[in-house]
Amino acid sequence: MDTRKVLSGLSYFSIFFAGILFPLVVMLASGDNVTKSHAKKAFVSHLIPLIPAPLLIFAIFSDINTINTDGIPVFTLVTAGIMVLVSLIVTIWNVIKGVKALMME
């Protein structure tokens, strides 16, 4: 199997084992433009689930009064659900892109 294919595929699959670090290293160390392109796409896709994180932190702090009064912290639960959904979608997308990168010509 070609090194270009393996590094490109691993950049996407690294969402399971090395997160942001592996695509960043491949992007900086690779001399091949195709591999760099895949590493950049994987790097950006690994950052996407971090976007709603500040919203979750805000939701937790805004729902502290609700939690203390035995209410349901709706804002926190909805935000956590959105984060889980986004992470799941990004993970599936990375697996599909990783398989395609391994099968490229």
CA angle 25, 26, 27 (to 5 degrees): 90
Look up tokens 């399971």; give the residue: 16
CB 12 within 8 A of CB 38: yes
CA angle 44, 48, 52 (to 5 degrees): 155
Structure confidence by residue, pLDDT tens digits, 49-95:
888 888 888 888 887 766 667 777 788 888 889 999 999 999 999 99
Q: How many domains does the chain have?
A: 1
Q: Could you list the beta-strand ranges (E) of 8-79.
A: none
Note the pLDDT of residue 68.
Answer: 65
Confidence band, pLDDT 50/70/90 cuts, at residue 14: very high
**pTM score, whole prediction:** 0.82
Crossing angle for the helix pair 53-62 and 74-103, to the nearest 10 degrees:
170
